Copies of this chain bind each other. A is one copy, B any other.
């Protein structure tokens, strides 16, 4: 059994190496890669079926790497090991996990013990192991009490990229008014109307404020934006 570690911080990488050795005596080789790009290559060459990786790496982030790895071999078992449980990351992962794949998502702040359990659970028992905190975000995100629907999320991203209503309507093949409708839903969900202190109404530019709130709440984050920007440029705008 071989395990591939994809993690750009050398300290964390060696810590993971150690943890894998300790938790999985049946593992004979541990491979390492120091960014998403190298990780994809390693995964392809080594045909490793067990991967543990960080999200948020500089060269190429974990979500992208995981997507290409899963595209090539959907039965790969991946354990995500991340600093954050931003809704943007959780949503990002949820978007790319293929039907029936087994994966895990634990925070770097969890104990050694829980990390080891996750390693065994995902790699040996094919369980999906997801930290409680992350699970909480997942629930809130999907059970759309405060969470956004997919449609709303996509509008949010397009707006955050700086597209106009018209541009969005063309990209998404919608009428102008429909785009604006979705925007209004977004404004309500994100509570954009509240006023800071005593000021009169009209303190906020709703469009901008919605994005600001999304960023503050970590519904959106920088890496999600980067991904969207790259897609936008590739698709030539439509």
Residues of chain A touching chain B, judged by Cβ–Cβ distance below 8 Å, are 9, 11-12, 15, 108, 159-164, 166-167, 192, 195-199, 202-213, 215-216, 218, 221-222, 225-226, 229, 232-233, 235-238
Contact = CB atoms under 8 A, between A and B. Distances in A.
**Within the oligomer, what is the number of copies of this chain?**
2
A215 B222 CA distance: 7
8 contacts: A160-B212, A162-B205, A162-B211, A163-B205, A164-B204, A167-B203, A198-B237, A218-B222
Given A12-B11, A199-B238, A225 B232 contact: no
Contacts of A12: 11
Contact of A237 (B160, B203, B215, B232): B203
Contacts of A225: 212, 215-216
Nearest to A159: B208
Contact of A164 (B164, B202, B213, B236): B202
A9 B108 contact: yes
Contacts of A192: 162
Which has the most chain B C-beta neighbours within 10 Å: A159, A215, A235? Answer: A215
Given A160-B208, A162-B209, A203-B167, A196 B9 contact: no
A195 B202 CA distance: 30
A202 to B, nearest CB: 6
